[in-house]
Amino acid sequence: MPIGYCPEVCQTPDLLTLYYSVFRSLTFEYSKHLPAIHFQADTIDKHTIYKHAFYSHAFYCHALYSHKRSRINRVSSMSKSISHLPLLSPSLGTERSLKVIRWEGTNSVTRTDSAADADKSPVVYLQAGLHADEWSGIHCLHYLEKLLDEALERGELTGTVIMVPVANPIGLGQHINGYTVGRFDFDYTGNFNRNFPRLAPLAIPRLQETLGQDAQRNTKLIRNTLIECLNDLTPRLEADFLKQRLLELSLEANIVLDLHCDSEATLHIYANQHHQVKAADLAADLDCPVLLLEESTEGAPFDDANAAPWWQLQEQFHKNHPFNLDCFACTIELRGRTDVDSVLAQRDADGIYQFLQRQQVIPGTPKQSDRLTEGTPLDGMDAVKAPIAGLIEYCKSVGDVIKAGECVAWVVDPYADSHDSQRVPVYSTTDGILFARRRDKMTRPGHTIAKIAGAETLAFRKEGKLLEY
């Protein structure tokens, strides 16, 4: 009888809950290493449940990390480890995993540890390629890994860094006619960077009776509760399982950097208004000219799923229960899809490394960086739309400063009868930097062909749908 099937326990809801909590994350690849456990309904007690659950979970962990695809390299108390976490198998005979690299510095601490450890160095989480056809971030983390290894060898790493260099092996497998189609999941769930679990509504009922007056204790309690809420979810689709795995890794961190890229673009960052100062520091370290600040995106992207619960819970409990907003999260867009270049990747890795120095994850004095921007509102971004189908002929380049009413591009429609009417101009509605445009020059009506970062809110931008363009 296979592990995970226990008729007697399945007839007892409270025992089933405990039993399932131990085995819910097992895939067949690892569960086959475990002996079947059978409980008798007339002799069962919680002590027996806990004993078998403990030994079975320990056996699972051993099997997981000794598996041939789960290589761990531990250096010392200040260490680097590599593990491979299995994902839900999407079909017979297939399996995928996430590679996770973890550096532990001299002052490292798990953020769920005791409140007395709250003054320890930060835990940082970095990932790249959540949109699996965006590869600049993967290249950047390749160079950043070497910088972190060198810091570890010199004994200079104080905090903890968790890195997932390839965050979406599902999307990388979506390969059609020579092209990776990695932004949207082919299996129902849509955009890979939308609809991550919204944890604050789940956490509020659990926290109402447990929060007190100690800010450090409350901060620790909130983090633990968010993790518990996430672990109680039961994803059934592969992409949802992936999202849960990524959040399991990142919820420990109080700095979360999600690396993406656009089509054709200059460096730009998406962050929340709560984090304007820290985001502006990051933009300066990366020599980034565009910082887009949102109040709420409502689409539940990865960065928002990490950071938003903290201020949502603060709105609920701030009058009586103090705590720290203990997670800074943002999305870094490393230019365009074709900007996979060693010089750029090294420069970006150096910028992130300097930011980690500024956050005291790595000792040293970061150089003084000139701020190119203090940030502009995301709802002030002009998403310039194509009025008709046709071929895009740009008359402005990425990085150009644009004036409202200025022509950005022409859309050429060869089907128009007269030659003069084949060229339709497209204009900007705001002043600002043209920071992104389309790499593919054939468009359909209503598609976004340029993005301009303006300083003033635009009336036509729909609140809550700021990322849907």
Which whole number is the average pLDDT over 11-21?
Answer: 45
Do 201 and 236 lie in one domain? The reply is yes
Do 208 and 273 lie in one domain? The reply is yes
Which of the listed residues 45, 66, 87 is the one where a domain comes to its end? Answer: 66
Do 384 and 354 lie in one domain? The reply is no
Do 93 and 159 lie in one domain? The reply is yes
Do 397 and 293 lie in one domain? The reply is no
Which whole number is the average pLDDT over 74-91?
Answer: 85
Do 254 and 342 lie in one domain? The reply is yes
| 459 within some domain | no
Q: pLDDT grade, residue 57 (50/70/90)?
A: very low
Which of the listed residues 17, 38, 66 is the one where a domain comes to its end? Answer: 66
Q: pLDDT grade, residue 115 (50/70/90)?
A: very low
Query: Which pLDDT belongs to residue 309?
Result: 97
| 214 within some domain | yes
Query: Which pLDDT belongs to residue 367?
Result: 87
Q: pLDDT grade, residue 112 (50/70/90)?
A: low
Question: How would DSSP label each residue in 371-420?
Answer: -S-S-EEGGGEEEEEPSSSEEEEESS-TT-EE-TT-EEEEEE-TTSSSSG
How far is the CA of 48 from the CAs of 11, 20, 35, 77, 82, in angstroms? 17, 15, 16, 35, 34
Backbone φ, ψ for residue 384 (5° rounding): -75, 125
Which whole number is the average pLDDT over 74-87?
Answer: 82
Q: Which residues pair with 450 in a beta bridge?
A: 384, 437
166, two tokens: 């390839």
Whether the predicted pLDDT of 23 surpasses 70: no
pTM: 0.84
For tokens 């380049």, what's the residue? 397
Whether the predicted pLDDT of 66 surpasses 90: no
Strand order through the sheet with 328-336: 79-86, 97-104, 160-164, 123-128, 255-262, 328-336, 268-272, 290-294, 376-377
| 120 within some domain | yes
Q: Choose between 23 and 237: higher pLDDT.
A: 237
| 465 within some domain | no
Do 277 and 292 lie in one domain? The reply is yes
Query: Which pLDDT belongs to residue 126?
Result: 99
Question: Tell me, what CATH number does 428's domain have?
Answer: 2.40.50.100
Which whole number is the average pLDDT over 331-350?
Answer: 98
Q: How many domains does the chain have?
A: 3
Whether the predicted pLDDT of 443 surpasses 60: yes
| 91 within some domain | yes
| 460 within some domain | no
Q: pLDDT grade, residue 46 (50/70/90)?
A: very low
Do 86 and 61 lie in one domain? The reply is no
Q: pLDDT grade, residue 110 (50/70/90)?
A: low
Q: Choose between 105 and 69: higher pLDDT.
A: 105
Q: 3-state DSSP helix/strand/coil percent for the chain, to nearest 5?
A: 35, 20, 45
For tokens 């041939």, what's the residue? 68
Query: Which pLDDT belongs to residue 301?
Result: 96
How far is the CA of 147 from the CAs of 166, 241, 315, 354, in angstroms? 18, 31, 39, 11
In terms of residue numbers, what domain contains 18?
7-66
Query: Which pLDDT belongs to residue 415?
Result: 97
| 463 within some domain | no
| 257 within some domain | yes
Tell me the C-alpha distance between 97 and 299, whole Å: 26
Whether the predicted pLDDT of 10 surpasses 70: no
Whether the predicted pLDDT of 31 surpasses 60: no
Tell me the C-alpha distance between 384 and 380, whole Å: 12
Do 339 and 443 lie in one domain? The reply is no
Question: Tell me, what CATH number does 146's domain have?
Answer: 3.40.630.10
Query: Which pLDDT belongs to residue 117?
Result: 53
Query: Which pLDDT belongs to residue 296?
Result: 76
Which of the listed residues 342, 374, 406 is the one where a domain comes to its end? Answer: 374
58, two tokens: 């320990």
Query: Which pLDDT belongs to residue 466?
Result: 52
Whole-number average pLDDT of the chain: 85
Do 92 and 229 lie in one domain? The reply is yes
Range name among 242-246, 315-319, 383-387 with the lowest pLDDT average: 315-319
The DSSP element (H or E) to which 164 belongs, if any, is strand 160-164
Do 211 and 349 lie in one domain? The reply is yes
Q: pLDDT grade, residue 419 (50/70/90)?
A: very high
Q: What is the pLDDT of residues 231-264, one digit of tens each?
A: 999 999 999 999 999 999 999 999 999 999 999 9
Do 248 and 280 lie in one domain? The reply is yes
